[in-house]
Amino acid sequence: MPVPSKDIPLKPLKIFLIEDSDDDVYLLKRHIEKAGFELTIVRILDDY
């Protein structure tokens, strides 16, 4: 996957995330940011 240039502004992306693993959230965030998106994440946590 190509890495976006530092001169090109990041594309905004909002994500509603339902995930129980901190590691998975980190990996997902890192991968999407490397693809050129500026993330706003709303994460839902529930202790059932």
> How far is it, in rounded angstroms, from Cα 3 to Cα 5?
7
Tell me what pLDDT residue 31 has. 93
Percent of the chain clearing pLDDT 90 (strictly above): 33
Tell me what pLDDT residue 11 has. 92
Sign of CA dihedral 4, 10, 11, 13: positive
Decide if pLDDT at 6 tops 60: yes
> How far is it, in rounded angstroms, from Cα 34 to Cα 48?
33
Tell me what pLDDT residue 1 has. 54
Residue 24 is given by DSSP the state H
Rounded to two decimals, the pTM is: 0.64
Tell me what pLDDT residue 47 has. 66
Report the amino acid identity of residue 6. Answer: K
Given pLDDT bands bounded at 50, 70 and 90, which one contains residue 27?
very high
